[in-house]
Amino acid sequence: MSKIIASAAIRGGHACVRRAETALAECVDRYGWDKDVGFPSTAYALPVILALTGKRVERLGDLEEALGTARSWLPAEPTERLWLPYLGGALDAGAATLVAQEAIEALKPLRGIPSAFDYWLGPTADGILREQGIKLVDGRMPGFAACVGALPDDETAEQLARDLQERNLLVFMGSNAGGETMAAQLNRRGVEMNWETFLVPYGPDTSSIVHALGFACRAAFTFGGLKPGGIKETREILLYNQRRVFAFVLALGEVDDEKYATAAGAINFGFPVIADTDIPEILPSGICTYEHVVANVAHRDMPARAVEVRGVKIHTVDIPIPVRHGPAFEGERVRKEEVAIEFGGKHTRCFEYLASRPMDQVQDELIRVVGPEIGDVPETARLPLAIFVEVAGRKMQPEFESILERHIHSFLSEPMGVMHLGQRDTVWLRISKKARDAGFRIGHLGTVLLHKLRNDFPAIVDKVQVTLFTQSADVEALYPAAAAAYQSRDERMGALTDERVEVFYSCALCQSYAPNHVCIITPERLGLCGAYNWLDGKAAYEINPHGGNLPVRKGDSVDPVLGQWKGINDFIRNASNGSFERFSAYSMINDPMTSCGCFECIACILPGTGGIMIVDREYSGQTPVGMTFSSLAEMTGGGQQTPGFIGIGTLYALSRKFISADGGLSRLVWTTTRIKQRLGDKLRQRCEELGRPGFYDKVADETVCTELEPLIEYLAAVEHPALEMGEMV
Ligand code: SF4
Ligand code: ZN
């Protein structure tokens, strides 16, 4: 490491540790050593400290110990620019800096300093991290950029943010340059910043960047299943990040000692630093995949250079439309006052319908708007819309129609300035004035569908033709055909049972983060992320026979009740790298399936009730088992098999095979209102099918109670069937 960087990093480390010690002393004076300290909604205490020191900091006393460790890592403070022959000293100082910064951030609430205010988001809850899991593995979010500082002006800031978004990179922002921050610059440009838009402002202090490292450490815990501990464990966590978490730091504006020290901290994780200023470069590769520090990069070139240096693999699709597009723009809303034209919602009929046709009946690339275009109607007009997509392909099968159609939502959400909500005939679509002014037309919706369908489903879609009807008469004329198709697909899906098929599909997408995890997806049990069902697996295999989804022959039945088959078990043994011998498709107690980290919900046994609860990852409160979702997830995830605990896709709760070996849905005694809402009438219907009158209303939620004792009383009062079914283990 360059000697200038090394001495600056060491000085910065000393200064940071001193600041943390002062802040701690102030808090101890006020509250004493036993005062609780920590970030909200996480099971990993102060995650960077946990990863680097193996210590779980819960009270101020623990923090003192952690800072003592950090201090012991600091090399002697240089009084002048010393010649430092090797990287080690600066890297140690970097690690000490991260510990100190995390302490400073954690102490903020105790010192009356807000962490989240204005547009700043502060620390991240575990639930949000898990929600990103599926995007991390399916390529929608291949990497992370931590932007430290600010750009020369607002416009350049937006340019850089958009360039990073367009590459699907999650952008963390923190620190400042001379008091200016990138997030403030984006805010002035009216850019929406939140997890949905991939733009996450942590805080204006340099210490807030430690939250990005905290995200990385928790990825190793939650998805990688790594455990904190001693030096060996810390090394594993750092290696995990170097190999699997494609992050880098963009140093924007002047770099002071603390920033050098933070950069050295990031280099420990294998995250390189790309700077726009003339800081000393460290080119030979060692810890990072390629260069450690690259200086003097023009803002325009930063995303490309960073991606290349970190070795991030980015898949983007070229679509000839006049606005930017990509998953990072999916979450963007188009507010009422920004609307140029609107379809559906409560106002007009708006639906999408995708049908497969014989090859000779589809004219590839034919995109038509039948009826008024955006320029033909007054601003803020509300029109009806039918999005009619006809596809043909040699390997296309009618059963894939529903899959392709379901993707219309994410495809049409991707162009910047287009908001798409709902599916089938509940669509609500808005196009913003900005997009229209940039030249976006209704017809471009077809362009997007054409390119995305061909790109994402290459083997099954050879030809695409899109018609966009914007006149009521045409929309109404097509609707009965669409409605009939929705209904017959639902009936077909309902009839698809595990018994009726010979093969299930595996999904190994999450192995990039959870190396021994594999999902077995059956017609009646979807993947735990909620994003892949059996048909998706089948289509994915058609598209890429060497991809993450493989057909697995069930073979002879080993145990029909538990849901074990010889073919599946043989496959698991191999696909889990020998970690697991067998899986039960229908039990959460005997050989349950493993859970990576991106599960939508956790189902777990509630001792004393004879039942189970299901809790979703957005629920941050207490649960009757005495744990929050985060703590439960820590036990359940990381590719482990934990009897009594399973990660599940929400819809699995509606399946007739839902823990059928353990008593099925009748075991459900508590869940969250969010899950009840999400499953809606379908859950009621399933409850009725159980043949237990009034069952639905006997299932408690957080509005009834959040503790075990009152729950047991409630269950007795309503005569919940689980009480009679007896304990599950
Ligand atoms: Fe990961 Fe399983 Fe979802 Fe595949 S189905 S992406 S392995 S959670
Ligand atoms: Zn996963």
Pair 727, 605: CB distance under 8 Å: no
Average pLDDT along the chain: 93
Lowest-confidence segment of 133-137, 417-421, 655-659 by average pLDDT: 133-137
313 vs 553, residue with greater confidence: 553
* pLDDT for the residue numbered 551: 98
Could you tell me the distance, in angstroms and rounded to a whole number, from the CA of residue 501 to the centre of ligand 1? Answer: 20
8 Å CB contact between 630 and 42: yes
**Rounded-to-integer distance, Cα 363 and Cα 465, Å:** 6
Identify the residue whose C-alpha is closest to ligand 1 atom 5: 527
* Tally of CB atoms within 10 A around 646: 25
Q: Look at residues 580, 585, 609 and name the one whose alpha carbon lies nearest to residue 729.
A: 609
Q: Whole-prediction pTM value?
A: 0.86
In ligand 1, the atom with minimum distance to the C-alpha of 138 is: 6
DSSP type of residue 376: G
**Angle value at C-alpha 163, between 159 and 165, nearest 5 degrees:** 115
Kindly tell me if the per-residue pLDDT of 178 is higher than 70.
yes
- How far is the centre of ligand 1, averaged over its atoms, from the C-alpha of 236 (Å)? 24
For the domain covering 498-725, report its CATH number.
3.40.1470.10
CATH for the stretch 4-310: 3.40.50.2030
pLDDT at 280 over 90: no
Per-residue pLDDT band at 83 (split at 50, 70, 90): very low
Residue 455 pLDDT exceeds 90: yes
Handedness of CA 676, 680, 683, 687 (dihedral sign): positive
Q: How far, in Å, CA of 224 to CA of 216, rounded?
A: 11
Considering only CA atoms, which residue is closest to atom 4 of ligand 1?
Answer: 507
Closest ligand 1 atom, CA of 532?
5
Q: Hey, which of 506, 519, 525, 593 would you mutate to test ligand 1's pocket, going by the most ligand atoms within 8 Å of its Cβ?
A: 519
Residue with tokens 């237990």: 692
Query: Which CATH number is associated with domain 327-494?
Result: 3.30.1650.10
**What number is the average pLDDT over the span 711-719?**
97
Q: What is the pLDDT of residue 283?
A: 67
Which of 138, 506, 507, 640 gets mutated to test ligand 1 (max ligand atoms within 8 A of its CB)?
507
Whole-angstrom Cα distance, residue 707 to residue 293? 52
Report yes or no: 430 and 339 within 8 Å, Cβ to Cβ.
yes
At residue 44 the predicted structure's pLDDT band, cuts being 50, 70 and 90, is: very high
pLDDT of residue 544: 87
Three-state secondary structure call for residue 410: helix
pLDDT above 70 as % of the chain: 97
Cα(615)–Cα(699) distance, integer angstroms: 13
Q: What is the mean pLDDT of residues 304-317?
A: 88
Which residue, 87, 101, 69, 70, is CA-closest to 5? 87
Q: How confident is the model at residue 451 (pLDDT cuts 50, 70, 90)?
A: very high
What pLDDT, on a 0 to 100 scale, did the predictor assign at position 137? 79
Task: Return the residue whose CA atom lies nearest to atom 1 of ligand 1.
Answer: 510
Which residue among 510, 533, 572, 651 has the greatest number of ligand 1 atoms within 8 angstroms of its CB, and so is best to mutate?
510
Report the distance separating Cα 293 and Cα 80, nearest Å. Answer: 22
pLDDT above 90 coverage of the chain, percent: 83
Supply the pLDDT for residue 493.
85
Mean pLDDT throughout 535-564? Answer: 94
- Distance (angstroms) between ligand 1 centre and the Cα of 518 equals 7
As a whole number of Å, the CA-based R_g of the chain is 27
Q: Please tell me the distance between residue 351's alpha carbon and the centre of ligand 2 in angstroms.
A: 32
Domain ranges of the chain: 4-310, 327-494, 498-725
Q: Is the model's pLDDT at 558 over the cut of 70? A: yes
pLDDT at 85 over 70: no
CA of 134 to the centre of ligand 2 (A): 6
pLDDT band at 82 (very low <50, low <70, confident <90, very high): very low
- For residue 518, which atom of ligand 1 is closest to its CA? 7
Which pLDDT score is estimated for 159? 97
Strand 611-616 with 601-606, pairing: antiparallel
Pocket of ligand 1 (CB under 6 A): 134, 137, 507, 509-510, 519, 527-529, 531-532, 596, 598
Domains 4-310 and 327-494 share a fold: no
pLDDT tens across 612-663, in order? Answer: 999 999 999 999 999 999 999 989 988 889 999 999 999 999 999 999 999 9
Closest atom of ligand 1 relative to the 599 alpha carbon: 8
